[in-house]
Amino acid sequence: MTNTFFEKAYSINCKGNLLDLSQAKVMGIINITPDSFYSASRTINDASILTKVEQMLDDGADIIDLGAYSSRPGAKHISQDEEWERLSKPLELIRKKFPEIVLSVDTFRSSIAKNAVNYFNVDMINDISAGEMDAKMFSTIAELNVPYIIMHMKGNPENMQTNPIYEHLMREVFLYFAKKVETLKSLGVSDIIIDPGFGFGKTIDHNYELLSKLDEFKIFEVPILVGLSRKSMIYKFLNSTPEESLTGTITLNTLALTKGVQILRVHDVKEAFETVCLYNKMKQTMSEIT
């Protein structure tokens, strides 16, 4: 009897090294910003950045995702120069101390992506706009030949949560990704990861609809990343705060794993790593008894 509980195995090519996604991986978030929505994630001191990266690696992070542009709702826009000024020194320090780690940069700007890959050997680019905010991003990714995370966002960080409306949420999100994936593949980009964009131009109900139908994204036959960590779909629904949202984050990450996601993007690496370990143990046990 075929066990349909198990998902298709994926891997992504990080500069010649294959990152096996047959078991879910944990991406640790490093925010080099003064205004990210979760205050404990803000890291702007060089020493604290290295300490935080080291702790995340010790706690089980497979990927470190570095971002210098806050994408919280209503976030202040910063220039390209300021974004690179925030990023360049930390990237240099991280690469010097941890030369072998899988390093991702969270940016929607093609010039930042190019500099990060060419100067600091960054392994992948995480773009919240999927090329919508920089027309050169897709061709740049094709040229750089690195894995590319594309996220769905309605609007931009400054206006995305101003009464987001969909005629048919899943149909619109699926059409968005279908066009993006087709275009990227036509440019020769093979390592594509999709992120449904929880909290980016969605109401609480939209977010839970996406979560409930997360397994339907398998139709694209590419890895799926989710960023549920301490988001408003947790703390607004529970009338709490981001600081009080760890339990909710663990719960939703567990549900996402049952839907077949390959990457959890999180602030709390240890808890996410343990969640993945326990989930894998359950899968192993199911395999042994069927």
pLDDT at 229 over 50: yes
In order of 115, 270, 283, the CA distances from 6 in angstroms are 38, 24, 8
| pLDDT computed for residue 38 by the predictor | 46
Confidence of residue 73 (pLDDT cuts 50, 70, 90): low
Mean pLDDT of 11-40: 84
Give the rounded percent of residues in the chain with a pLDDT score beyond 90: 80
Domains in the chain: ranges and CATH: 24-289 (3.20.20.20)
91 within 8 A of 106, measured Cβ to Cβ = no
15 within 8 A of 102, measured Cβ to Cβ = no
Average pLDDT score over the chain: 91
**Which of the residues are catalytic?**
231, 265
Mean pLDDT of 202-217: 96
Taking the C-alpha atoms of residue 282 and residue 290, their distance in angstroms, rounded to an integer, is: 12
| pLDDT computed for residue 275 by the predictor | 98
